[in-house]
Structure formats: C-alpha cells, structure tokens
Structure 1
Amino acid sequence: MSYNEDYGRQDSAFTQSYRCYPASFIEKPQLEKGDKIIMPPSALDRLASLHIEYPMLFELRNPSASRVTHCGVLEFVADEGLIYLPYWMMENMLLQEGDIVQVKNASLSKGRFVKLQPHTKDFLDISNPKVVLETTLRSFSCLTTGDTIMVAYNNKKFYIDVVETKPSSAVSIIETDCEVDFAPPLDYKEPEKPSRSTPTKKSRPEVAEEEPAKKVAKFNPFTGPGRRLDGKPSTAADEATVGPSVSTSTLCKENETPSSSNGANKSCGKLVFGSNSDQSSNGKPKGNQTVKNKEPPVKEGEEEEETKFQAFTGKKYSLKN
C-alpha cells in the first residue's frame, strides 16, 4: 500500500514485495494443480481496508528477469514476508527459492477466447482431453499470454503454452464462457507427402545408331534347281525357264508382242514345261501340255537339239473288245 502526497490519502492499489518459495515447503501439493498462491495474514488486512473486489486477482512480477504473470489467492496463512507459489509458476517467472517477487492487485476482464498449444502429442492421446482440460482450468483464476500451465492427469504432467488470450493479454476465466482453441503440439510433425517423381531425362548410354531393319526377303516363285519330267539332267536353258525373279514385266512389256525370232510365238504369262519342240509348227501347244503361268523369254540360239519328252505318245488302247 502506497501513500499519495498530492491528495493526502492512500491509493486503492495493493503493492508489496515478498520472498517466494514453492508450495512443497508447506506440504500443500494441491497448489500445483492451479494458479493460486498463499499469502500472509497481513496482506488480507490491507486488502480488506482497500475494499478490493472479489475474486482477488494479482499481478506477479520478477524485476530481475522482467517476467510477469497473473494469479489468484487461496489462503492467507503464510509466514510474514513470505508467499508460496506453484512450482510451475516459479519456472515461468524464472524464480529461485527465496527470490524477491512483487505482488500487485489487478482487475482483469473476462476472457472470451484462449488458444492453447500442448508441448507433446501425448496430451492428444488422452481419451477425452477436452474434459481433462476443463476440469483442470476450474482451479485457475486467470490466464496470461506467454505462460506455460501444467495439467496433471493419470500421474503424468502435461505442459501447455498459452498462445493467445482475448480480449487482452491477461484474462479472468472465473464464471465465464470462454472459447478454447488448440494449436498443433510442439513436437507434432506433419506426415510427409509422397513427392511426385517428375520424369527426368535419363542420359542414355552412347550406343551406336541402330542398323536399319533388314529387309525381309520377298517371296520369289519358281526358285531352286529345275528338274525335267523325263528324268534327264536339266540344262542352262531349263534353269532359265524356271529361274528366280520371273515376272510378267520381263516376259512381255505392255502393248508389246512377243518376239517370233525363235519361231515359237509364245504367249505372255504362260509357262511351258519342256522346250518349244513341244509345240506344233503353227505355234499352238500340243494337247494339254501347257499350264497357265508366267513364261520367261527364251533367248535365241538356246533351243535344245535333243528330243524332248512328249506327253500322250505311244499306242492307243480301247476299253471295248
């Protein structure tokens, strides 16, 4: 409590410095589940004389570390000149046992929005973290942006950062409807998305240019060695008759009559087995000796002098007696 000389009266603000110690010094472990402190009886007398409104809220300041937080009061049973704080609050304030802390009464607006961020993903693994958080915050009087509160559940301690509070950086959460939002835990890592492999031009090994595909051999009719029907060895003239690459284009050109120099007058497009001795003098084939097929041209001077095989020769027999 301070005295204002200008007005000659006491100010309505409570300000006092105390030495702080953790709640374990007075065997009150329940203090660790909230944000309330224990003050000496003299503080209650001064607060009552100033007509401080309830619930009583205070600002705690560590002048050596420039750290500020807010809290409520549970009891006035501490020794004079001392206060007892939850240990997690001393950690936030960077206070050691016996350090000096300034206590000042504060009036905070009711909170409308709070954003919290757990330190580990284990808090989200609780069966119902919302209910656990609501139950824990019932032991709190106010929240300050930048603080780290402790939530005890199932013999395990969970630390949660107060990321944001509205409408101010410190709000009261006593008898108020406050919207709570969660940020991803500090140790949370988003699953890596499978990267789409972009097609890259792979350097092909230097290979000699592929040789052009080999040309498929075309079918050539009447290839192979010629054989005579009379069993005699074939001559060059016979080989030429059935030799490869026989085509009507070479036998008889369009609009061109076959040469009659050999006296055979062979027709184009017909292949005759045997020599031209199988034909009559008038150029017509004897009997059914001819087979319609391509006929290669016969060169002059290549007629065989040997007697050729003649079909349908010999004696004639009758089936009638």
Structure 2
Amino acid sequence: MRGLRGIVTIQRLKSRWPLLVGLLSLLVVIGIALPMARNSNTTAPTSAAATPAPSATLTSEFANEITPSPELTSAPAEVVPTADVAPAIADLNSLRVKGRAPRSGYARDEFGPAWADIDSNGCDTRNDILNAELTAAVVEGDCTVIAGGFTDPYTEMQGDFASMRNSIQIDHVVALSDAWQKGAQKWPFAKRVAFANDPLELQATLGDVNQQKSDSDAASWLPPSRQYWCPFVAQQIAIKKKYDLWVTPAEKDAMMRVLGSCPSQAVPVPGPQPTLAVGPAARQDTTPPVDVPSDSSSSGVSGGLDPDFGTCRAAKASGFGPYVNGVNPEYAYYRDADHDGTVCE
C-alpha cells in the first residue's frame, strides 16, 4: 500500500509540474518587475523637478529685456547737444551753471555812464539802437531820432515813435545787475561799459514793460508775447555765451522748457565785442576846447589809447590821466564817482 501511495504521489506531481513551473516563472517576473517599478517611481520626481530649471533661467534672462528701463519711466533728461540740435540748446548746455554771487557793490554806474558814445561816432548808444530798430527812422541833426515806425517785440505793439518817444526805453536784455551777480563784477570796468552798450544786449521796448522786467532772469520773467519767448531766450543765451556769464540751475531749467517748444531755435549772431574807439579827427575839431592839465595823457584824440589800468590810482601812478568825458575815450575805463565828467584827475 505504501508503495502504491508513493507511485500515486509521484504521478500527481508529474501531472502538476507544468503548473508549478508556471507559478515559479510568474514569481520570477514579479520579482524583477517590482524593483524596476520602484526605481521608476523614485527617479521620476527628480526628472520632473529638474525640468523647470532651464525654464527659470530663460525667464530671468527675458525679464531684463521686457522690464521698462528707468530712463523710460523717469522725467526727461537734459537735452544733449548733437549735430542735429539747434545752436540755442547747444549753447545753453555749454554755459556754466552755478548760484548767484552776492549783489553787494552793484550800481548802475559800475557799467559806465548811461548811453555812452562808445564807438565815438558822435551818437550815444540809445540813438544808435533806435536808428537801427525803427523803420524809416527820422533823425534830427546828426543823431537824435525823432520819428519812425516802432514795433515792440516784447508785446507786439506797434506805433509811431514820435507820439510815444517818452514812453520807450532801451532794455538790457540780460539785466545789468543779473550780469553783475553772474560774472561781470570780476570784469575790468572797460569791459562792463562795452557790455552795457553792446547792440546784442539792447532792445527798445515800452517803459512799463522794461520796469516790470527789472533785474529778472528767464526763471522769473518772460515777455508778455509768448511768440517772442524763444527768440528772447536765445538772445539771452547768445549774450551769456559771448561774455562768459553763467546761469543758475532754475534759469537753465526755465530756458530749456521754453526751447522745448522750439527745438530748432537758432541764436542771433553775437558780433564783435565793442571796443572803445577814438573818433575821427573831423568830429573832434567841432568839440569845444577843454582845459586839460599839461601832464595829462595826450592820447585823447590823436594818438593810441592808453592802457586800462583798472583803477585811477594805478593809472596816475604810471603817469596817465586825467580823462575827460567826450574828449578822452579812456574816460570810459574808470568810474566817475563825483559825476563831474573827469576821471583820474
């Protein structure tokens, strides 16, 4: 019986062998597949996390390109002169910028007598300017303008000079006290006289407008006519460049704002700086004789000009002077403190 049972058991095992082999094969496959699945599950997040890195780098690079620059969001910067920028803006940017010097020491006669005959043509500067600016000017005698067509560029008002001559004044486009505080107080006296009588610096206008302007610069006063703002500012710039006067920060800002509305504005031709000249001999023959001390300079009417010593003390120490108004051009070099028509006496 035991032998028979052994035979039966072996036969049963043989009949089930394919099933056992299949189970073993399945276990082997599962044993291999599970570790691979675990590896796949653990590496996938790493791969997913690594993917955004290049994307973050690209975002950072392009962010600089699409972010508005400070220049686009801030106030407009100062206009930088280029080949295409008009002379008014270029010349303004060439001027020195600094604060006002003290007004102490300023007086009108620091710039010489009002309306001197600086070029010795026999006519004072006021009549020279009126003769140049009026249309069809009528002159009485050799110099005195008595009639002509008058146009005030500051106000655009027109009229006949003959009927309004007492209300017309000659404006210093750059006020003398403004020039004094922005460089002129360091000049020799003769240069200040030349400045005050330079045609570039002078403009005929209505007296009340001239008084309203007073000592103002462009930061505090502009002509009533807006049409004349650009030419007015350009003229001030030309004057300040010619004489190396500076502008204040507020003054420059005001000028730049005006020129922003006329970027092609040019500047007037500055012309030469006036110089004290000896008049022609024919004119001097008609001058009434004046007693001049024998030790005075002989350069008054016939010779060359004496040097400008800056002060009468220095002139007299060198043996020069006195100088008489209307006779000696050197009179304009020095301050006539007592207004007697003679300096360095």
Higher strand fraction: Structure 1 or Structure 2?
1
Larger Rg: 1
- Normalising by the smaller structure, the TM-score range is under 0.3
Q: Which has the higher contact order (CA 8 A, sep 6+)?
A: 2
Q: Compute the TM-score of the two structures, normalised by the length of structure 1.
A: 0.19
Q: Compute the TM-score of the two structures, normalised by the length of structure 2.
A: 0.18
Higher helix fraction: Structure 1 or Structure 2?
2
